[in-house]
Structure 1
Amino acid sequence: MPEIEVPLVFRILFLHLLCFSVYVFRLILQPQLVLLYHSPEAPVGQQFTKRSLAPSSLWCSAVGKPHICYHLPGNESVEGSSFGVNVLNYLKTLGLFDQKDRYIVPSSFLRDHSPVFLTAANSVYYRPSLMAIRSLQEHFPFQKIIFYDLGLTKVQASHIDRLCNVERIVFPFWEYPNYVHNLKEYRWKPIIIAKTLIDHGALWYLDSSVSFLTRNLSFVYHLLLPGSRQNNKVRPKFSIVLHASTGHGIYSATSPEVYKYIPTNFEKLKSMSAMMYQAGLLLAFRTKQALEDIILWYVACALNKDCMGPEDASSFCQFRDKEHLVYAGCHRYDQSVLNLLLANRLNYDQEQWSSGFNSFYRIERHQVNDTHPPFEC
């Protein structure tokens, strides 16, 4: 029996009809991600999409929605005070509840991408920040540098705009409560870290006092790969990694007021394994664990008036012999909060959130070198 050749136009038409049928079939049988939860507990205006975090991980047990409370990992019955009714809206505006489909795996991300560099300064720290930028341009000439303008003069801002690979973003202080304007409380830092992670997937944050000394960061990235070894244990680092030790414990430099909002296990927090690391240099990735367990609460604390910057907080420490056991009467603002959250999440084992490397960077307070300015384009 002779074969009947189907004209090309009919074959193309058949393929289009087949694709359309599959599309309609999927629309009918698969629930769309944008459908809202309408549980009896969710009041109008507070529903979350299925991309959002599970409500049970957010709400305060006593007062309920829209109040959010931190729950101690490993003992969810231990709950902090409410961060306030307005904090939830700020977190939603930042997009922290819309990342479920955008979480990354650090090892996969690093195969094809590089983290962006993030820094910030006002007019006082403008000159030191130029040295930080210069070091990045020298060692990473093709990587993006995001510079948050915390209050530059017009001349300074114009100069930053001319620098190669640098994108200047004015921090939107007008969108936040007045107490966020106090730069010395560093409430702006969790906000820009959250925003940049959401936009770019991974980042290096560095204060204006930090300069990079090498372009080879493979030994740091290796720590995040599956199968990486720490103290003869096969365990990759957490997706937020700090680098420079302070030499003292988290407990000794954290205001007692913080624990009202972020409760902890004091016995473990006072151990030698829970030392504080500087927050002026960190590597972070947009993973589920980083955003949901750390960054969300880092930002929530920053936006609560009494959490990150308690009224009686002082950066002046009076250390005693046992610098991890005794409160030194001081507070390190964002650094204290970030270390506390990491310690709670990682069983108070600093090796999980610190790299142990100090050869690839230099920290020099108020660094200035006008003979080696950043490159302009």
Structure 2
Amino acid sequence: MLRTCRRNRFSIICAIIFVVVIVVNFCELVYKYDRSLTVINSNAHVKRKENVEPDFEQIDSKVFGKQGLNDQYSDSFSEGHQYQENKLQEIEPDSEWVHRMNQLFENAPTENFDKDPFIRQNTSNGACENFYPTFKENLYKVLNYSLNVPKKYLEMLSLDDAGIRNLTEHDLNSPYPVMASAASSNHFREIQGLIRDYHKKLLPIYPGMKLILFDLGLNAKQLKLMTKYCKCEVRQFPFQIFPDHIRILSGYGWKSLIIQLLLQEFDFVMWTDASIRFNGRPLDKLFQGAKEVGVQAIPGSGSIAVRTNQRTFTALGEEMCLFDYHEFEAGWMAVVRSEFTLTAVMRPWVSCALQYGCMDFKNSRSFLGCPLRKQRYGACHRFDQSVLGIILTRLFNYKSHLCQFIVNGIGFIRRGDYVNYFPNS
């Protein structure tokens, strides 16, 4: 066109026409681009709205799983209009259970010489803050952990306020707990040792004690043998109703979920890993401690701060250096269903398991091995055990002996103890 204008004696007019054509084309391109952005933003908005409180019956890996496994799961939880933030209303100071737990804490001695002392495991950080001086203040800290979990998960697990009220309306006061455990195919022989001890050393003392075992991935032959010889109730763990990262067994999110699923049915639950062994002595002292406090766990030998990744402290809003105290083992513990345990222990523990980036996170498997010599903070990660230790230490801190029980004398932990107890196993 420009050449035509040069040959034309009306070159000025042609040049003007040329410029106008260029401007019109440019404006058309801008208009199309602007419209494409509008459509993209509109679609994104629709997708976000579709994810608001999804129908529980349609919850599956497509909704929650893929985002979690590529480290965007925690980002989706942070959008306040999509998920209900698990920040609780401040409980009335005169709530009966708050008053009872506060009195229990205040009246307890600072030390119990039969249990592990509350001392720092490594060189303390002088700049680190301390725990609050009262039980109530530390309780409110736990109740206000900023964990964002879809509302219907809490409702499904009876961990919303209405569900907790319903579960604790009647006190059943069971004399001893239902026993719970779980196994995948690689722990099939190890858990036979636990089942053997349940048959030969627990049932003679507690003939009515029920064992419920959750299948986390047994093969067909193992499941058949388990069903035939366990003398227990075998249940399939419902992976399909939880986020996909719960399927990663080494993330241990399933453990707190199993305990809570059983607390919906039973008022007293004792969790035992496949490696737990009993020596035939009564567990009455453990049961009594659980009934008095609500929860009992074995004190560990490592430091929570050393054996917990920084991501978990960040998700909970806690300082790593504050938790350089002995951890709590999650392999053997007892929980009595109460307003305290459901609200202050199980709800934050379960919520952290469900929120990818709290208990489990991207590349977490690289933190499985704990060093024996270099005790630096965040050196490794203990998943469910790390979170349980943070919660119990925040609640009880220098009186953590209240929620401890000593395993010596009643049993022991024997990891890798492979037993052929079932015939033809």
TM-score (norm. length: structure 2): 0.63
Aligned partners of 1:96 and 1:291 also within 8 Å: yes
Report 1 or 2 for greater relative contact order, CA contacts < 8 Å, sequence distance ≥ 6: 2
Separation of aligned partners in 1, 2:411 and 2:353? 27
- Select which of 244, 247, 250 maps to 1:184: 250
TM-score (norm. length: structure 1): 0.70
- Select which of 378, 382, 388 maps to 1:338: 388
Query: 1:35-90 CA distances to partner (integer Å, 9 max, x unpaired)?
Result: xxxxxxxxx989xxxxxxxxxxxxx9x95872224799616579544424x2x211
* Runs of 5+ consecutive residues of structure 1 not aligned to the other structure: 1-43, 47-59, 226-235
Q: State the Cα distance separating 1:119 from its structure 2 match.
A: 0.4
Task: Tell me, yes or no, if structure 1 residue 117 matches structure 2 residue 166.
Answer: no
Separation of aligned partners in 1, 2:238 and 2:212? 15
Task: Tell me, yes or no, if structure 1 residue 249 matches structure 2 residue 303.
Answer: yes
Equivalent AA in structure 2 for residue 167 of structure 1: E
Q: Secondary structure at the match of 2:218?
A: coil
Aligned partners of 2:268 and 2:337 also within 8 Å: yes
Q: State the Cα distance separating 1:312 from its structure 2 match.
A: 3.8
Separation of aligned partners in 1, 2:389 and 2:313? 13
Query: 1:225-281 CA distances to partner (integer Å, 9 max, x unpaired)?
Result: 6xxxxxxxxxx5x311112x33121111111111222123556422xxx31021111
Task: Tell me, yes or no, if structure 1 residue 305 matches structure 2 residue 356.
Answer: yes
Q: State the Cα distance separating 1:116 from its structure 2 match.
A: 0.7
- Select which of 100, 106, 119 maps to 2:165: 100
Alignment correspondent of 1:373? 422
Separation of aligned partners in 2, 1:77 and 1:359? 36
Q: State the Cα distance separating 1:215 from its structure 2 match.
A: 4.3
Structure 1 residues 82 and 209: CA distance shift in structure 2, 3 A: closer
Q: Secondary structure at the match of 2:405?
A: coil
Q: State the Cα distance separating 1:96 from its structure 2 match.
A: 2.1
Q: State the Cα distance separating 1:211 from its structure 2 match.
A: 1.2
Separation of aligned partners in 1, 2:169 and 2:321? 34
* Percent identity over paired residues: 24
- Select which of 222, 234, 242 maps to 1:156: 222
Aligned partners of 2:184 and 2:217 also within 8 Å: yes
Q: State the Cα distance separating 1:349 from its structure 2 match.
A: 3.4
Task: Provide the aligned length of Structure 1 versus Structure 2.
Answer: 295
Alignment correspondent of 2:99? none
RMSD over aligned Cα atoms: 3.1
Aligned partners of 1:117 and 1:204 also within 8 Å: yes
Structure 1 residues 181 and 164: CA distance shift in structure 2, 3 A: closer
Structure 1 residues 353 and 144: CA distance shift in structure 2, 3 A: same
* Runs of 5+ consecutive residues of structure 2 not aligned to the other structure: 1-51, 55-76, 91-131
Alignment correspondent of 1:259? 313
Query: 1:295-338 CA distances to partner (integer Å, 9 max, x unpaired)?
Result: 011111111111111224311123557x5xx4142110000011
Query: 1:154-185 CA distances to partner (integer Å, 9 max, x unpaired)?
Result: 11111111235300000111111211110001
Separation of aligned partners in 2, 1:204 and 1:77? 27
Query: 1:119-170 CA distances to partner (integer Å, 9 max, x unpaired)?
Result: 0001110111111011011123232100000011111111111235300000
Separation of aligned partners in 1, 2:192 and 2:372? 33
In terms of fraction of residues, the more helix-rich structure is 2
Structure 1 residues 327 and 312: CA distance shift in structure 2, 3 A: farther
- Select which of 370, 374, 379 maps to 1:329: 379
Q: How does 1:214-225 map to 2 (within 5 A)?
A: 214-224=280-290
Larger radius of gyration: 2
